[in-house]
């Protein structure tokens, strides 16, 4: 992507002015850097501001920008690397001189590029293919794809019908929201054509908008529906008057299909009178912010969901066999093929159409089943004209983010936190309104969800996004675009040798499956320089015995890497990493000590010992991170540890560091004092007598802390005995939302003090609490606690006025309670409680949980779910839907 390429180069240049760098720009070079940055910024503004239907010309311009900027980045990175790795003053001075010469060339190239692209003239009406991509489908055109077959939409149909016929007098707008091809238009058409609806309204009109709002076309469509007057020669103002007068005083239904902007709605709504006569507007869109903008408070947007497998099969057979039955011999294979559509009606209809062109024989369908990837490649091509609209409509800053998602394995739950760290390292995320980059990136994820391009999958215990998925057809769209845009190159183990040579010209390489030894080769760019790849990610697990030896040469050739994620590869990367001086993100297995001294741009460091590695390692391996001002995430596993900042040369305060995982740290207090803005701290300690008074004093310094994890490996140390915690708990960060404790054995009376944390939403404890009695007085109030998990406790009696103590609790999870007599009955009185989960507890705990649910049901509360897994592993569930 041109936009992302510019961001990456600008970031590299900006680092040259920071004092912690191995090479600091001399005055003679600074002016060239500033001029270059200004031109790059102008190019980015040009891309941001360009809105055109001429998609083909825009892609040509983007490719031109991308190619020039990539070559510029290659020159800058290669020459900077020579400076950083220079082993003598003489060679360093020579490398610096060469860098300045390269910089002058790059400055001229980019300046010429800026002048070139800013005079490009776009076709106002778009190119022919662009017109096809943005021209709205008429209802008749759409029917050739979906044929208005309503299968599995009965609930959707009834919901929309109820809203259209609601007794509310005022004009109501009813949005239908969902991804392209999910059946929004089909649903709207079914409702629009329903005889009850047509008889209910005096005037009905169907308007298709699509991406480019055409006011005149919209007016002509409405006028043709509500009057027989000739209208082609009228002005827009005259058409508006006809529409307004034609609808005034009459009950009307207007369907606005495929609207893409709030601006279009603002222009349209003024022509629709509100006479409090139960008129309605039904609207379809892929964009949540549009749906939220137009809907009425009492009628939220209706999200069109995917079809179940049963409904998918019914739609498929209705399309292919009409009223006939599917031959029994084809049912099993057919259902397997249809399952790959993942409930998307558009995909199902296309599959039925393609199979309908074959002879309906078992051998033909079996051949399709055995070659699903190839077959669904054809399906994807047939669907792209509809799905690509969503991609083309994305703002520049989201395009690379979306395409990057396509690099993850098919059907994979994608971890939001990991993806955000990668996006930031790739420079896809731009600062916005003084927000942390992680917050902005979360907003990017939400925007992609709201644009119906990715699907929320799971939430964390405190309700934040944890994982999401992408539909296979949209992933195929990503892969198609990435091939064009050179964003991500996917390597699969079944790719022939000659295709792997394509890596040489790829900026990012993602390995999804195992490689054979014969497929591995040292990549060398055609002009003889080191491979230009900036990202290498392995998503396939490799053990020592199945990892091709030849792949080591690949890593040694990727000298310009900025992202290296090979945590799935059981190999010692300690000799590779120090040479990769441009790294911003590293996640790898390490067995030996290493120096990161020359890696000053690191943002994410994840260094773990290889699982299952039996090779001996040094007992202590200090790692100096105190010159890395860009660090945002650090997870360094034993036996490595972060060195003492007081012993480092000119140590910095790591103000950007958000997440820190410390394992058996020798210098906890010193480290915490130099990482003041931490949001997440995970602390694991195996020592027998840590200085908890000093540790808690250090924690008090972390005013921004939101998540705290403490894990102790020594059992029964009872770290909070005495008065250590009593006077300090109130001083902890008021921003703490999640507290996870393992092996801490805190007395129950100390647990009550956690109520002083005003924003605490989640408590998770395993072997965390100690004592036989837990009494909560009415004045102990966990005012925002939503999630309480307690495991493996020796509690016998629990007294609580639960609705007062936990007024916002939603989930209570207990496991390993063998002595507890009962759960307090008042737990059931908590109005927000949705779930009680009991695992491996005594029968008295199970019975008390059942009584709580029964009591609530007797009071009419059927929302409380109860899940019990007994010691005998017989699982019972009692829930209400």
- In the three-class reduction of DSSP (H, G, I as helix; E, B as strand; rest coil), residue 675 is classed as coil
Exposure letters 482-519 (e unless 16+ CB within 10 A, then b): beebbbbbbbbeeeeeeebeebeebbbbbbbebbeeeb
738 vs 747: CA distance, rounded Å: 19
pLDDT tens per residue, range 431-462: 988 899 999 999 999 999 998 889 888 889 88
pLDDT at site 563: 96
Mean pLDDT, the chain, whole residue set: 85
Region 385-395: mean pLDDT is 85
621 vs 409: CA distance, rounded Å: 35
Q: How many helices (H) and strands (E) does the chain have?
A: 29, 31
pLDDT tens per residue, range 350-375: 888 888 888 888 888 888 888 887 88
Q: Which residue has the higher pLDDT, 237 or 122?
A: 237
Does the structure show a pLDDT above 90 at 877?
A: no
How would residue 801 be classed by pLDDT, with cut points 50, 70 and 90?
confident
pLDDT at site 820: 94
Region 26-52: mean pLDDT is 86
* 55-85 helix and 27-49 helix, angle to the nearest 10 degrees: 160
- Is the alpha carbon torsion for 798, 803, 804, 808 positive or negative? positive
pLDDT at site 630: 94
The encoded tokens of residue 807 equal 């007024």
pLDDT at site 594: 85
pLDDT tens per residue, range 668-715: 999 999 999 999 999 998 776 667 778 888 999 999 999 999 998 765
For every residue of 342-390, which 3-state class applies, written as one string?
Answer: CCCHHHHHHHHHHHHCCCCCHHHHHHHHHCHHHHHHHHHHHHHHHHHHH
- CB neighbours of residue 595 within 10 Å: 11
pLDDT at site 279: 95
pLDDT at site 381: 81
Give me the long-range contacts of 231-235 (CB less than 8 A, separation at least 24): none
Strands 302-303 and 280-285: unpaired
How would residue 384 be classed by pLDDT, with cut points 50, 70 and 90?
confident
pLDDT at site 650: 85
- In the three-class reduction of DSSP (H, G, I as helix; E, B as strand; rest coil), residue 272 is classed as coil
How would residue 501 be classed by pLDDT, with cut points 50, 70 and 90?
low
CA-CA-CA-CA dihedral for 414, 416, 418, 421, to nearest 10: 140
CA 202 to chain CA mean position, Å = 46
Q: pTM to 2 decimals?
A: 0.84
Exposure letters 817-832 (e unless 16+ CB within 10 A, then b): beebebbbebbbbbee
Q: Which residue has the higher pLDDT, 176 or 648?
A: 176
Reply yes or no: is the peptide bond before residue 269 cis, omega within 30 of 0. Answer: no
Strands 680-685 and 787-791: unpaired
Q: Which residue has the higher pLDDT, 614 or 691?
A: 691
Q: Which residue has the tokens 């993942």?
A: 342
Does the structure show a pLDDT above 80 at 881?
A: no
pLDDT at site 137: 36
DSSP 250: S
773 vs 748: CA distance, rounded Å: 7
- In the three-class reduction of DSSP (H, G, I as helix; E, B as strand; rest coil), residue 470 is classed as coil
Q: Which residue has the tokens 């493996």?
A: 792
pLDDT at site 371: 84
51 vs 396: CA distance, rounded Å: 10
CA 688 to chain CA mean position, Å = 41
599 vs 22: CA distance, rounded Å: 9
Cβ contact 835:812 at 8 Å: yes
% helix, strand, coil for the chain, step of 5: 40, 15, 40
Whole-angstrom CA distances from 546 to 551, 570, 575 are 11, 10, 20
602 vs 581: CA distance, rounded Å: 9
pLDDT tens per residue, range 654-673: 999 999 999 888 889 999 99
Region 144-167: mean pLDDT is 78
The encoded tokens of residue 122 equal 């776009």
pLDDT at site 354: 85
DSSP 598: T
Region 756-779: mean pLDDT is 94
pLDDT at site 879: 47
pLDDT at site 222: 87
Does the structure show a pLDDT above 60 at 783?
A: yes
Percent of the chain with pLDDT over 90: 47
Q: Which residue has the tokens 């295709």?
A: 499
Residues 6+ apart with CB under 8 A from 632: 421, 424, 437, 438, 603, 604, 656, 657, 658, 659
Exposure letters 520-533 (e unless 16+ CB within 10 A, then b): beebeeeeeebbbb
pLDDT at site 719: 56
Whole-angstrom CA distances from 304 to 44, 160, 307, 350, 770 are 36, 11, 9, 19, 49
Spatial CA neighbour of 577 closest among 619, 636, 520? 636
Region 528-539: mean pLDDT is 77
- Is the alpha carbon torsion for 375, 377, 381, 382 positive or negative? positive
Does the structure show a pLDDT above 90 at 541?
A: no
Residue 458 phi, psi (nearest 5): -150, 160
pLDDT tens per residue, range 550-578: 566 667 778 899 999 998 888 888 888 99
565 vs 54: CA distance, rounded Å: 38
Cβ contact 231:239 at 8 Å: yes
408 vs 513: CA distance, rounded Å: 11
Environment class of 27 (CB within 10 Å of its CB; exposed 0-12, middle 13-18, buried 19+) = exposed
Listed ranges 69-73, 89-93, 498-502, 611-615; the one with the highest mean pLDDT: 69-73
For every residue of 397-445, which 3-state class applies, written as one string?
Answer: HHHHHHHHHCCCCCCCCEEHHHHHHHHHHCCCCCCCCCCCHHHHHHHHH
Q: Which residue has the higher pLDDT, 1 or 612?
A: 1
How would residue 491 be classed by pLDDT, with cut points 50, 70 and 90?
low
How would residue 427 be classed by pLDDT, with cut points 50, 70 and 90?
very high
pLDDT at site 369: 85
Whole-angstrom CA distances from 234 to 223, 230, 273, 653 are 11, 8, 21, 69
Region 214-239: mean pLDDT is 83
Cβ contact 855:825 at 8 Å: yes
């Amino acid at each position: 992507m041109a936009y992302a390429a510019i961001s990456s180069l600008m970031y590299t240049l900006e680092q040259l002015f920071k004092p912690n760098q191995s090479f600091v720009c001399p005055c003679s070079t600074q002016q060239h850097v500033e001029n270059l940055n200004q031109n790059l910024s102008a190019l980015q503004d040009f891309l941001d501001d360009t809105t055109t239907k001429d998609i083909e010309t825009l892609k040509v311009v983007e490719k031109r920008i991308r190619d020039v900027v990539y070559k510029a980045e290659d020159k800058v990175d290669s020459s900077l690397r020579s400076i950083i790795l220079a082993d003598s003053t003489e060679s360093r001075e020579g490398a610096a001189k060469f860098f300045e010469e390269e910089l002058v060339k790059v400055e001229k190239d980019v300046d010429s590029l800026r002048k070139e692209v800013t005079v490009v003239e776009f076709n106002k009406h778009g190119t022919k293919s662009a017109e096809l991509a943005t021209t709205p489908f008429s209802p008749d055109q759409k029917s050739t794809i979906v044929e208005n077959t309503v299968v599995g939409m009965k609930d959707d149909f009834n919901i929309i019908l109820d809203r259209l016929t609601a007794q509310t007098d005022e004009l109501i707008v009813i949005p239908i929201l969902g991804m392209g091809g999910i059946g929004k238009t089909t649903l709207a058409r079914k409702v629009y054509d329903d005889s009850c609806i047509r008889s209910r309204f005096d005037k009905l009109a169907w308007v298709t908008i699509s991406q480019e709002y055409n006011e005149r076309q919209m007016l002509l469509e409405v006028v043709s529906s509500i009057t027989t007057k000739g209208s082609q020669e009228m002005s827009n103002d005259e058409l508006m008057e006809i529409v307004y007068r034609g609808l005034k005083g009459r009950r009307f239904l207007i369907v606005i299909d495929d609207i893409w902007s709030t601006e279009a709605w603002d222009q349209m709504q003024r022509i629709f009178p509100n006479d409090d006569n139960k008129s309605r507007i039904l609207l379809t869109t892929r964009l949540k912010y549009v749906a939220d903008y137009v809907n009425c408070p009492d009628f939220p947007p209706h999200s069109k969901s995917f079809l179940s497998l049963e409904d998918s099969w019914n739609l498929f057979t209705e399309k292919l066999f009409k009223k006939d039955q599917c031959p029994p011999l084809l049912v099993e294979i057919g259902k397997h093929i249809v399952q790959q559509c993942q409930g998307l009606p558009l995909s199902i209809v296309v599959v039925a159409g393609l199979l309908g062109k074959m002879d309906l024989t078992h051998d033909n369908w079996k051949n399709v089943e055995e070659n699903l990837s190839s077959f669904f490649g054809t399906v994807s091509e047939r669907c792209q004209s509809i799905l690509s609209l969503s991609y083309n409509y994305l703002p520049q800053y989201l395009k690379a983010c979306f395409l990057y998602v396509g690099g993850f394995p098919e059907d994979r739950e994608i971890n939001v936190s990991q993806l955000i760290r990668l996006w930031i390292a790739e420079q896809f995320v731009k600062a916005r309104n003084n927000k942390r980059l992680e917050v902005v990136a979360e907003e990017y994820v939400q925007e992609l969800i709201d644009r119906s391009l990715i699907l929320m999958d799971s939430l964390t215990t405190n309700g934040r996004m944890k994982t999401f998925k992408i539909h296979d057809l949209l992933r195929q769209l990503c892969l198609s675009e990435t091939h064009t845009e050179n964003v991500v190159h996917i390597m699969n183990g079944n790719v022939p040798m000659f295709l792997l040579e394509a890596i040489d010209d790829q900026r990012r390489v993602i390995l999804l499956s195992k490689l054979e030894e014969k497929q591995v080769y040292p990549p060398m760019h055609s002009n003889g320089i080191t491979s230009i790849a900036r990202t290498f990610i392995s998503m396939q697990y490799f053990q020592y015995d199945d990892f091709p030896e030849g792949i080591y040469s690949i890593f040694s050739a990727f000298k310009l890497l900025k992202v290296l994620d090979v945590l799935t590869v059981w190999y010692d990367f300690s000799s590779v990493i120090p040479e990769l001086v441009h790294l911003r993100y590293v996640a790898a297995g390490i067995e030996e000590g290493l120096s990161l001294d020359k890696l000053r741009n690191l943002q994410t460091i994840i260094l773990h010992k290889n699982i299952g590695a039996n090779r001996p390692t040094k007992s202590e391996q200090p790692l100096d991170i105190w010159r890395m001002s860009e660090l945002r995430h650090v997870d360094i596993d034993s036996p490595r540890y972060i060195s003492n900042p007081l012993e480092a040369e000119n140590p910095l305060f790591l103000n950007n560091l958000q997440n820190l995982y410390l394992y058996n740290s020798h210098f906890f207090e010193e480290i915490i004092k130099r990482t003041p803005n931490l949001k997440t701290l995970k602390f694991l300690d195996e020592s027998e007598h840590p200085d908890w008074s000093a540790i808690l004093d250090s924690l008090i310094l972390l005013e921004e802390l939101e998540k705290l994890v403490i894990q102790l490996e020594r059992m029964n140390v009872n770290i909070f005995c005495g008065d250590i915690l009593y006077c300090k708990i109130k001083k902890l960060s008021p921003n703490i939302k999640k507290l996870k404790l393992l092996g801490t054995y805190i007395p129950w009376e100390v647990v009550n003090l956690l109520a002083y944390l005003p924003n605490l939403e989640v408590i998770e404890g395993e072997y965390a609490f100690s004592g036989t009695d837990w009494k909560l007085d009415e004045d102990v109030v966990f005012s925002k606690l939503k999630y309480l998990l307690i495991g493996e406790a020796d509690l016998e009696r629990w007294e609580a006025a639960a609705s007062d103590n936990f007024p916002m609790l939603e989930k209570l999870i207990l496991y390993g309670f063998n002595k507890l007599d009962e759960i307090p009955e008042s737990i059931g009185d908590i109005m927000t409680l949705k779930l009680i989960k009991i695992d491996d507890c005594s029968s008295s705990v199970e019975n008390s949980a059942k009584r709580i649910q029964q009591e609530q049901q007797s009071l009419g509360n059927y929302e409380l779910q109860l899940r019990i897994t007994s010691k005998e592993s017989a699982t019972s569930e009692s829930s209400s839907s």
